[in-house]
Chain A
Amino acid sequence: MKRILLLEQKLDESTTAIQYAYRIAKRDGAEVLCLFLIPSSMTTADWIETQERVVGEDIKKAERIGMRIKQRFEDEGIRFSYRAIRFQPTIFMKELEASMPVDLVIAGRLTSPVEVADLGLGSIGDLGVRLNCPVIDAEAMQKSFEPISPRLWRRFILYGIGSALMYFVFFPNIKHLNKFYMGGGILAGLAIMVTVAVHAWVYGSTTECLPKFIRMDKD
């Protein structure tokens, strides 16, 4: 591997993405190009001056951090270059194209602005398709190798028992309960709302755990 592109929105010297970029570059003898993405939104004219000041300060901070990271990488024999850019659609796309070709993209925690989402880049997967190279979400990768927490297991079991009770006790008696629920009136309407809300919460809290067990949901 020759070239890694690192996309980072968080202005910190030791983010997960930077750590991974270092390790992979060290292993494969690759160089690293880092784009610090500075969010900015120019939608409200009244705030332009304030936003320009804030963006300017963030760009300077990113450049200071980039300088320090560059020093540390080059101490370990890894070529490192960086740029701080505004996270706006045209600028972002222009910088991505100028950075090509790369062999791997490592993304830190990116909050994709809605403008970029409108370019069809709403997710990491979209970025990989557009750039035609693998893209790794660094934090997602870190989370996917963490063990499943006991708290998740407890939640699954507790709500699972509640769900089982709702289906196997409540449901068989529904014909009798329907005499009240389908009798009409405000009380019946309110009772239906409460029943479905409780059931959805209990059963939904059980099923919510399933994608986490197979690492599809990393939140």
Chain B
Amino acid sequence: MYGGGNTFEGIKTDSLSQEDPVKLAAFEARIARGEKIEPTDWMPQLYRKQLIRMIEQHAHSEIIGALPEGTWITRAPGFKRKMALMAKVQDEVGHAQLLYSAAETLGKSREQMIDDLINGKSKYSNVFNYPTFTWADCCFISWLVDAGAIVNQLANAKGSYGPYCRALERICAEESFHLKYGHHCVIYLASGTAKQRQMFQEALNRWWPPMMHFFGPSDKISAHTEVLMRWKVKMGTNDEMRNQFLDMYVPKIWELGFTIPDPNLKKNTETGKWEYTEPDWEEFKRVINGNGPCNKERLEVRRVAEARGRWVREALKSPKAAYVTPLA
């Protein structure tokens, strides 16, 4: 799972003037033809930098995203749910492995990426900085946060960087289990007792604002991303992704008789676009800058794991092994 709304670095267009214009033209022509870029191909520095940043954020989101759901493994309602949730959380950590490998092909080592996560230098999806109070919060993540992630990932799988696309194809295949499992969990709560219905309604109330933030700032205020779209690093604007998510899942939420906590939410039949109360982007910024309800806890868990696992990694280290950049 993963959120869009990547925080891209401000793009200085003059950085492109440093590039060899002939190589740059050939590079852009290849992308325009729909061909993939492979690790040994020439690429502009800006492309490399933004891709590393995006894939790395995606990988971090997978391992941090395992935490709010992982919390509920020990308290899942029943053996079957426990097994399924465990498999799902394992999947997420596996996705991080695939994504870190893809980012490594661009020249940043895994050690550096993990250092940057632990030291708060790298970002990850904001949505995982919120707590899972009840089992219903966990169900919300499994169904709807994963659904949002799939919207993003399916789009990104059509991007221009070969190793990232191949990793995403593999990830999307596993996500279909997450989505079906999550929907199954929510149907059971919806068709259960009044208390169960109330539990999910409360979770929906808590998670709707972070879910709207999930796709990133509105196009009106988000950074200029034209060059990233042309290079097929970003495959759709934040608002397009958000609209696609609303289109697919709002009817399914309403079908189950739940109320989405936004009185202004409706589809404009003329434009085909959803209208909603503008999400609180100040809150979004606050959380992304480290002041959300769980930011400290999430990073602390990683920090403790890093410190406690160190002796194991030291013991396993072999002088014969060598870190090399992956081939593809």
Chains A and B belong together in one complex? no
